[in-house]
Amino acid sequence: MKTLKKLTATLIASFDGAISRIENHDALIQASIQEVQKAGARARVRLQLLKRETAKMEKKVQHHREQSELWKDRAKSEGVKNEQKALECLRRHRTEDQKAIQLEEQLKEQKEVEIQLSHDLSKIEDKVRLLKQQRNILRTRESRAEALRAIQMEEQSGSYDVNDILERWETKVTQYEFESECTSEAVTDFENEYVTREEEESLRRDLHDLISNA
């Protein structure tokens, strides 16, 4: 009993120590994962803002292009009738056209930033997946290694022998089974003795009746 208690206490202590170390490692890795996830969240928010800004800029470019074409058509219409109005229409046409060009340049730069940010976000998500995968693998390997190490230390200490325990257990169970079978057989023989005796007495009565009626 003392040996088993010692074994139990040793295994529990080893297991608790392994769990403590695993929890410490998990805490460090979890902190790293959370930092990467925060960076990913910020990048995702920024990407959504950029996409909305891009959509707004595209609408502005389209608006200036449409205004440019509209003032150009007005200049053509006023060219014959009123030169001054036609020149003013052309001036506004150029202004709208220049605004559209400037916005298109900004839009191009912003789309490049958007592409880069999307690429960075993809890297961040891959990093999170990799960290989680490595954490799970190392957690499993360390748990297994600690358990095997605890068992090996107990086996080397010679404080117990599992095979001896199993052998003694099997011997005890076999003895109980044998005793149970012997008891069952004894009861059966005892019952058979009565049955045989009762059967002989019945036969004697039948024989007696047969002789008497002859």
Q: What is the per-residue pLDDT across 77-91, written as a single tens digit (0 to 9) for each?
A: 887 788 888 899 899
123 in helix, strand or coil?
helix
What average pLDDT score do residues 100-128 get?
90
Q: What is the per-residue pLDDT across 153-204, written as a single tens digit (0 to 9) for each?
A: 766 665 556 667 778 888 888 887 777 766 555 556 666 666 677 777 777 7
Domain ranges of the chain: 2-160, 162-214
CA distance 65 to 25: 59
Pull the structure tokens for residue 65: 């292009």
Q: What is the CA radius of gyration of the chain?
A: 48
By the 10 Å C-beta count (0-12 exposed, 13-18 middle, 19+ buried), 125 is classed as middle
CA distance 47 to 55: 12
By the 10 Å C-beta count (0-12 exposed, 13-18 middle, 19+ buried), 158 is classed as exposed
Q: What is the pTM of this model?
A: 0.50
The closest of 63, 32, 24, 10 to 132, measured between CA atoms, is 32
Q: What is the pLDDT of residue 101?
A: 94
Q: What is the pLDDT of residue 197?
A: 73
Q: How many helices (H) and strands (E) does the chain have?
A: 3, 0
CA distance 93 to 68: 4
Block residue for tokens 């989680």 = 132
Cα distances (angstroms) measured from residue 196 to each of 115, 186, 189 = 101, 16, 10
Q: What is the pLDDT of residue 191?
A: 64
Q: In the chain, what percentage of residues exceed pLDDT 70?
A: 74
Q: 127 pLDDT band (50/70/90 cuts)? A: confident
